[in-house]
């Protein structure tokens, strides 16, 4: 067989080894279905079979999910319905075997792989760091349609299962054991031998008795009291709509499928899954999110040359950004030298790093030994002398060119000729920083996003003088830190900051014109951004936002994009943003901040005193949310197109990845370039020209967009 190998292990135990011959990971595809059916026929026809074990022939993964490429072949909803119905039938056969069926899991068991394991009677998982279980289909605009919405709630309870499916969160083996998803956790070594020894234990427990929900538990109420069930799912839908604003149809369909199965039979639930999958596969949201998945995967494999070996990374500055860079570097296995100007600042930085690793222990992502090992890789220092051991030094000091020039010279005095100096600036051109360098070919930009430990993107900025080995090494370091890396050319604001700045400044202009802070942020959140632009300015810090905008003033001056004077008055008033607990919003702690009410969200109060700093602004003017969305989003997309036209980014793929993973551009739209294709260049240019006539030159469409409109062209083929 191509995908399966069946072996007898004695005493009536059969092992089925899963092995995709054309990839390093196992995925489920339609090509496997006939072969899996043949395996089940063979097992069912042998009366000597006493137990069946599904195990991967690969040493680091079980089944990582469905082969997403299969979905691109779906042209009609009925195709998807037929495909998933065949999968249901195969899993139902596994579940109906009159002897124990065991899934032996080592490495990722995700999506369709977990649905496969859920159809087995028992699950053994190794405590390998690579072993994770989850149903992440929602991240692709889909739902777990292979029985996941039915079997998981019945196994661990709907109140645990629904949040897992709606977030796509992964569980490690021990957390899966605590929730009831896994029966045993074992060491990863000689898994097949371990499973064989456990088979008698599972034979005694078969057929498995279902204890059902505990009396008076939430799951019991949902399962047996229809009014309680209706209320629970009504609140779940309300919460989903609050979080997604209806932009992710898969989330509501997922809730529908779970409720259908609990209100009726599991067969009803399977039917609901099959009927829901086809329209979701063909939806523009899923197509956009799948395209992001493929682009992200391709970026991880993209070659940038041969990197030099790196063992030690120096980090200059122990503030919020610097400590985050140090933490992800240590998490990647690098020795880290963290420098600041005082032991007090270093102590605070080390405390933040410890909290990061300790939080991973509490979330079962690391064990205490792994936490201590990672933390021990960080060494604090007050002088540059220790940097002589570093192959890469990353500076995260204040956004001031004189300070950056000074630290660059100090680092070069203490390091070797091959040491790479990387700046974490978000706006200052790297070529300006490199002017102070004796070795400008070693200077590069590594722009991280806040908070560093959570944000997935790293924007690497190349100057014309930057050496190829320096680029290759910076990319390798970023990937080892766990980042999705894009490479852009140098210029004010690079790519991400450059396209974000007009977006945020237009929001401030709208406040000047009479729009309320809440309606601006609300409109952009309804469009699909997780955070509104004014809340984002608070998070970044208004002082930082003004400084960054000032760095781009010269670039934008000819297009009437400028920093509103009201921002300077806001700074003078001491409204600095979240770090000072007051900005566009009031962040003063209140006792109800910790409250979480299902289906309801508690919002931060607006700082109404800020309106008085905007001068003679109109009062009571109400803006159409579409007007707000169009003005802000068009400016961002137009700037992205200009960046592509000028060569700041080399491909639309880099632009979409950068906007989605760095700036929170709505994933269901696929990024600014994918959205421009969907929206149409002709329509975009026409609407921007009307805005330019009404509001000024900042809305003049980029020449590349005008050319595409005239030639009916797209950024992506088809």
Reading the block at residue 361, the tokens are: 């222990």
Give tens-digit pLDDT for 69-97. Answer: 999 999 999 999 999 999 999 999 999 99
What band does 589 get if pLDDT is binned at 50, 70 and 90? confident
Give the end of a domain, one of 465, 487, 509. Answer: 487
Q: How many independent structural domains does the chain possess?
A: 3
Q: Average pLDDT in the 420-440 region? A: 96
Distance (Å, whole) CA 74 – CA 166: 24
Strands 132-134 and 171-172: antiparallel
Kindly state whether residues 245 and 349 are assigned to the same domain. no
Kindly state whether residues 523 and 481 are assigned to the same domain. no
CATH of the domain at 197: 3.90.226.10
Give the end of a domain, one of 467, 487, 507. Answer: 487
Kindly state whether residues 423 and 525 are assigned to the same domain. no
Assess contact for 657 and 669: CB atoms under 8 A.
no
Reading the block at residue 444, the tokens are: 């590069």
Of 444, 419, 418, 422, nearest in space to 431 by CA: 444
Assess contact for 458 and 483: CB atoms under 8 A.
yes
Reading the block at residue 575, the tokens are: 């409204």
Q: Which residues are part of the catalytic machinery?
A: 459
Distance (Å, whole) CA 336 – CA 517: 42
CATH of the domain at 479: 3.40.50.720
Q: Average pLDDT in the 248-262 region? A: 97
Side-chain half-sphere of 559: how many Cα atoms within 13 Å?
Answer: 18
Of 381, 434, 438, 427, nearest in space to 404 by CA: 434
Q: What is the pLDDT of residue 590?
A: 79
Assess contact for 613 and 569: CB atoms under 8 A.
yes
Kindly state whether residues 524 and 578 are assigned to the same domain. yes
Is there a domain that residue 568 lies in?
Answer: yes
Is there a domain that residue 249 lies in?
Answer: yes
Taking the chain, what is the end-to-end CA distance rounded to the nearest angstrom?
Answer: 37
Residue 635: give the domain boundaries: 497-647+680-711
DSSP string of 529-562?
A: -SS-HHHHHHHH-HHHHHHHHHHTHHHHGGGT--
Is there a domain that residue 294 lies in?
Answer: no
Q: Average pLDDT in the 374-401 region? A: 94
**What pairs with residue 17 in β-bridges?**
5, 55
Is there a domain that residue 501 lies in?
Answer: yes
Give the end of a domain, one of 487, 507, 536. Answer: 487
**Residues, the chain, total?**
718
**What pairs with residue 458 in β-bridges?**
448, 485
Helix%, strand%, coil% for the chain, nearest 5: 55, 10, 35
| Of 20-34, 103-117, 360-374, 527-541, minimum mean pLDDT range | 360-374
Of 285, 274, 294, 290, nearest in space to 250 by CA: 285
Kindly state whether residues 467 and 553 are assigned to the same domain. no
Chain center to CA of 601: 22
Assess contact for 186 and 123: CB atoms under 8 A.
no
Kindly state whether residues 456 and 538 are assigned to the same domain. no
Kindly state whether residues 372 and 512 are assigned to the same domain. no
Ramachandran region, residue 62 (left: φ > 0; alpha: ψ -120 to 50; beta: rest): alpha
Kindly state whether residues 168 and 269 are assigned to the same domain. yes
Give tens-digit pLDDT for 655-713. Answer: 999 999 999 999 999 999 999 999 999 999 999 999 999 999 999 999 999 999 999 99
Contacts of 190 (CB under 8 A, 6+ apart): none
Q: What is the pLDDT of residue 594?
A: 65
What band does 9 get if pLDDT is binned at 50, 70 and 90? confident
Assess contact for 589 and 543: CB atoms under 8 A.
no
Strands 443-448 and 457-462: antiparallel
Which of helix, strand or coil describes residue 311? coil
Q: Average pLDDT in the 141-145 region? A: 98
The widest CA-to-CA distance across the chain, in whole angstroms, is: 88
* Environment class of 149 (CB within 10 Å of its CB; exposed 0-12, middle 13-18, buried 19+): buried
Q: Average pLDDT in the 139-152 region? A: 97
pLDDT above 70 as % of the chain? 97
Is there a domain that residue 288 lies in?
Answer: no
What band does 616 get if pLDDT is binned at 50, 70 and 90? confident
Which residue bears the tokens 């995260």? 396
Q: What is the pLDDT of residue 606?
A: 95
Cα distances (Å, whole numbers) of residue 400 to 316, 551, 683: 14, 10, 41
Assess contact for 153 and 261: CB atoms under 8 A.
yes
Give tens-digit pLDDT for 194-211. Answer: 999 999 999 999 988 765
Kindly state whether residues 379 and 254 are assigned to the same domain. no
DSSP 603: P
Side-chain half-sphere of 569: how many Cα atoms within 13 Å?
Answer: 12
Of 669, 633, 668, 673, nearest in space to 653 by CA: 673
Kindly state whether residues 187 and 132 are assigned to the same domain. yes
Q: Average pLDDT in the 299-326 region? A: 95
DSSP string of 88-106?
A: HHHHHHHHT-SS-EEEEE-
Assess contact for 615 and 624: CB atoms under 8 A.
no
Is there a domain that residue 685 lies in?
Answer: yes
Kindly state whether residues 386 and 358 are assigned to the same domain. yes
Which residue bears the tokens 């220790």? 386
pTM of the model: 0.93
Contacts of 137 (CB under 8 A, 6+ apart): 111, 143, 144, 145, 148, 165, 168, 250
Which residue bears the tokens 């009201």? 566
Kindly state whether residues 325 and 269 are assigned to the same domain. no
Assess contact for 72 and 35: CB atoms under 8 A.
no
Assess contact for 476 and 449: CB atoms under 8 A.
no
The answer to whether the Cα torsion of 351, 477, 529, 626 is positive or negative is positive
Give tens-digit pLDDT for 223-244. Answer: 889 999 999 999 999 999 999 9
Distance (Å, whole) CA 52 – CA 23: 25
Q: What is the 3-state secondary structure (H, E, C) of 39-65?
A: HHHHHHCCCCCCEEEEEECCCCCCECC
CATH of the domain at 514: 1.10.1040.50
Is there a domain that residue 717 lies in?
Answer: no
Is there a domain that residue 669 lies in?
Answer: no
């Amino acid at each position: 067989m191509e995908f399966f190998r069946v072996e007898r292990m004695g005493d009536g135990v059969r092992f089925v080894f899963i092995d995709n011959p054309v990839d390093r990971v196992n995925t489920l595809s339609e090509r496997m279905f006939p072969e899996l059916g043949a395996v089940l026929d063979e097992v069912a026809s042998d009366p000597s079979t006493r137990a069946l074990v599904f195990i991967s022939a690969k040493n680091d993964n079980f089944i990582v999910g469905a082969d997403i490429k299969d979905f691109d072949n779906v042209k009609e909803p009925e195709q998807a319905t037929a495909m998933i119905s065949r999968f249901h039938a195969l899993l139902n056969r596994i579940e109906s075997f009159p002897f124990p069926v065991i899934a032996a899991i080592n490495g990722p068991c995700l999506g369709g792989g977990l649905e496969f394991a859920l159809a087995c009677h028992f699950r053994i998982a190794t405590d390998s760091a690579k072993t994770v279980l989850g149903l992440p289909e929602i991240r692709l605009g889909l739902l777990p349609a292979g029985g996941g919405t039915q079997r998981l709630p019945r196994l661990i309870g709907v109140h645990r299962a629904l949040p897992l499916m709606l977030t796509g969160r992964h569980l490690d083996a021990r957390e899966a054991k605590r929730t009831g998803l896994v029966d045993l956790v074992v060491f990863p070594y000689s898994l097949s031998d371990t499973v064989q020894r456990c088979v008698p234990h599972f034979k005694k427990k078969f057929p498995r008795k279902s204890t059902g929900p505990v009396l008076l538990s939430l799951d019991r109420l949902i399962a047996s009291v229809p009014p309680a069930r209706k209320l629970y799912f009504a609140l779940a839908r309300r919460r989903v709509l609050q979080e997604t604003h209806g932009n992710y149809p898969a989330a509501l369909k997922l809730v529908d499928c779970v409720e259908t199965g609990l209100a009726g039979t599991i067969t009803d639930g399977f039917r609901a899954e099959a009927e829901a999958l086809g329209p979701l596969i063909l939806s523009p949201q899923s197509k956009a999110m799948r395209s992001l998945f493929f682009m992200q995967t391709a970026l991880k494999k993209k070659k940038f040359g041969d990197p030099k070996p790196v063992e030690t990374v120096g980090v200059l500055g122990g503030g919020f950004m610097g400590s985050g860079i140090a933490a992800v570097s240590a998490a990647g296995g690098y020795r880290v030298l963290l420098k600041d100007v005082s032991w007090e600042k270093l102590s605070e930085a080390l405390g933040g790093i410890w909290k990061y690793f300790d939080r991973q222990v509490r979330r079962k992502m690391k064990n205490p030994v792994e936490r201590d090992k990672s933390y021990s890789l960080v060494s604090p220092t007050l002088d540059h002398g220790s940097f002589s051991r570093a192959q890469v030094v990353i500076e995260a000091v204040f956004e001031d060119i004189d300070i950056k020039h000074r630290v660059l010279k100090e680092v070069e005095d203490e390091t070797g000729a091959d040491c790479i100096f990387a700046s974490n600036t978000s706006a200052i051109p790297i070529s300006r920083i490199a002017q102070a360098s004796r070795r400008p070919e070693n200077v590069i930009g590594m722009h991280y996003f806040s908070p560093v430990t959570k944000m997935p993107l790293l924007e690497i900025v190349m100057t014309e003088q930057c050496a190829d080995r320096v680029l290759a090494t910076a990319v390798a370091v970023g990937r080892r830190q766990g980042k999705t890396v894009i490479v852009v050319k140098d210029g004010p604001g690079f790519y991400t900051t450059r396209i974000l700045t007009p977006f945020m400044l237009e929001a401030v202009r709208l406040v000047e014109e009479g729009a309320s802070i809440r309606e601006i942020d609300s409109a952009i959140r309804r469009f699909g951004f997780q955070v509104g632009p004014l809340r984002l300015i608070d998070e970044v810090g208004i002082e930082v936002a003004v400084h960054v905008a000032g760095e781009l003033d010269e670039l934008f001056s000819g297009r009437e994009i400028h920093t509103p004077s009201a921002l300077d008055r806001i700074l003078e008033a001491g409204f600095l943003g979240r770090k000072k607990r007051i900005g566009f919003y009031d962040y003063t702690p209140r006792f109800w901040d910790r409250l979480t009410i299902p289906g309801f969200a508690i919002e931060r109060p607006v700082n109404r005193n800020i309106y008085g700093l905007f001068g003679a602004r109109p009062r009571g003017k109400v803006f159409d949310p579409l007007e707000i969305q169009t003005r802000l989003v068009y400016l961002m997309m137009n700037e992205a197109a200009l960046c592509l036209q000028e060569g700041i980014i080399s491909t639309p793929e880099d632009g979409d990845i950068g906007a989605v993973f760095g700036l929170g551009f709505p994933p269901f739209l696929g990024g600014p370039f994918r959205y421009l294709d969907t929206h149409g260049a002709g329509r975009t240019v026409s609407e921007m020209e009307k805005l330019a006539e009404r509001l000024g030159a900042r809305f003049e469409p980029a020449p590349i967009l005008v050319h595409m409109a005239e030639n009916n062209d797209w950024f992506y083929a088809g």
